[in-house]
Amino acid sequence: MKFLSEKLGVAPEKHKLVLTAYFVFFVTGMASTILGTIIPNLREAYGLNYLVSGSLFTLHQTGNLCAVILAGFLPYLIGRKKSVTILYSSLAIGTILITASGLPVLLMAAYSLTGVGRGTTSNITNVIVSESSENKGAGLNLLHAIFAFGALVSPFILLLSSSLFPSQGWRITLWILALCMIVSFFLFATSSLSNKAEVRRSAAKKASSSELSASTETAVISGIPFYKSFDYWLNVSILLFYLSGESGNMGWLVTYFKDTGLMGQTFAQMTSSIMWIMIMAGRLLAAAISGKVNKSLMILILAILNTAFFILMISTASMPLIIIGLLGTGFSMSGIYPTTLSTMKREYNSSPLSTGFAIGIALVGGISMPVTVGAIAEKVTSSALARGLPIEAAEKAGVTSGISAIAVALSIMLILTVIKFIRERKSA
């Protein structure tokens, strides 16, 4: 509690709400890793091909996008608490549904529902922490570090469950996750979020900065058209290509390591935890130094490292170099998203609408990359099989070609961070 007050500048009456946001985002982090990590299990249990496998994570991100947009508008109609609890419940429903059937249409529906729940928490937790923290850079980096902690914990739960129940471990892991989601649902339902519909203020009734910081339940965009700001869209574009890389990694990295024969399935699944350990460490470091260094410079350095380490990781068969690339990719991914989000104007961060647009549009990258990787992998695999290659060699060629698309997205992100840094220097 003292840390919240002194380090983040959270008012005492907001402590419980902020802690709820942190716990819920921890659970969401657990889900984000598991939903990608279990795809090899689903392929084995249900006989899925690369295209269907890639479509699952794409539909998860599509549901994520829909929820982020809905979470931006619904509070104006029915209030934050009702909109959050209604949308968030789909996360547990979808998670349980994945364990129930291997029919592709049901799996696709299940992953879409999990995306709706994840998108809801992405929007509301970022808004809660942004509004409630005076030091929002530290607050957001800590929030995403906790997300990373949840992401690195869940593969260990999967590993333990699988060792005790080899054929059903992934299902037991999802049931444990669903239980945590139900707890999160009740925390939201009993929180201090408003049940009243939020009303947008007109430009003629601009709020003062003191009113803005004091109110956590009113979205004030008055007179500040975020959609006309070049810097707003530049930040959104950086987030878009970052999420392309993150979603591609989380959805395909385990499959890539397993199907190329570089790692066994158990070790491949543990790479998600290794990466998230580095992401968590990086975000904690970013939270500690966010108020002491130039944020645009920090984003640029992280983007350079992220692109370089990822290319290293997928361009070698040397295990030491792969591990170095994996560690470096995770660490350099750490602060890009929350730090970029924190460089936006406070008026934008405090609004569910502008935050929803930013996260929602950025999620287009998260939606498109997994299915792009899957489509490329399936096409190359089919072509290789037609040429008479053995199935293992064909799958290796396919998944290697597919994963290379992520490097293109990261390179574009790097170019955008250079533009952001140059614009800030000229402005200064």
Which of 69-83, 128-142, 217-231, 320-334 shows the lowest per-residue confidence on average (mean pLDDT)? 217-231
pLDDT at 27 over 60: yes
pLDDT at 212 over 50: no
Residue 202 lies in a domain: no
Residue 218 lies in a domain: no
56 is in which domain, residue-wise? 7-197+224-427
Residue 272 lies in a domain: yes
Residue 179 lies in a domain: yes
Read off the pLDDT of residues 83-106 as tens digits, 9 standing for 90 and up: 888 888 898 999 999 998 888 889
Residue 209 lies in a domain: no
Number of domains in the chain: 1
In eight-state DSSP terms, residue 198 is P
The helix (H) or strand (E) run that includes residue 317 is: none
The CATH number of the domain holding residue 354 is 1.20.1250.20
Read off the pLDDT of residues 131-172 as tens digits, 9 standing for 90 and up: 777 777 777 778 877 887 888 788 889 888 988 888 888 999
Residue 173 lies in a domain: yes
Task: Kindly indicate the confidence band of residue 72, based on its pLDDT and cuts at 50, 70 and 90.
Answer: low
Determine the Cα–Cα distance for residues 415 and 420; give it in Å rounded to an integer.
9
- Tell me the H-state helices in 133-264: 136-164, 169-189, 209-214, 230-259
Any residues with CB less than 8 A from the CB of 76 and at least 6 apart, and which? 197, 198, 199, 200, 219, 353
Q: Up-side HSE of residue 145: CA atoms within 13 Å toward CB? A: 17
Phi and psi, residue 35, nearest 5°:
-65, -25
Residue 336 lies in a domain: yes
The residue among 259, 286, 254, 284 whose CA lies nearest residue 270 is 254
Determine the Cα–Cα distance for residues 266 and 271; give it in Å rounded to an integer.
9
Is 68:360 a contact under the CB 8 Å cutoff? Answer: yes
Task: Kindly indicate the confidence band of residue 231, based on its pLDDT and cuts at 50, 70 and 90.
Answer: confident
Q: What is the structure's pLDDT at 223?
A: 44
Residue 203 lies in a domain: no
Q: What is the structure's pLDDT at 206?
A: 45
Q: What is the structure's pLDDT at 213?
A: 41
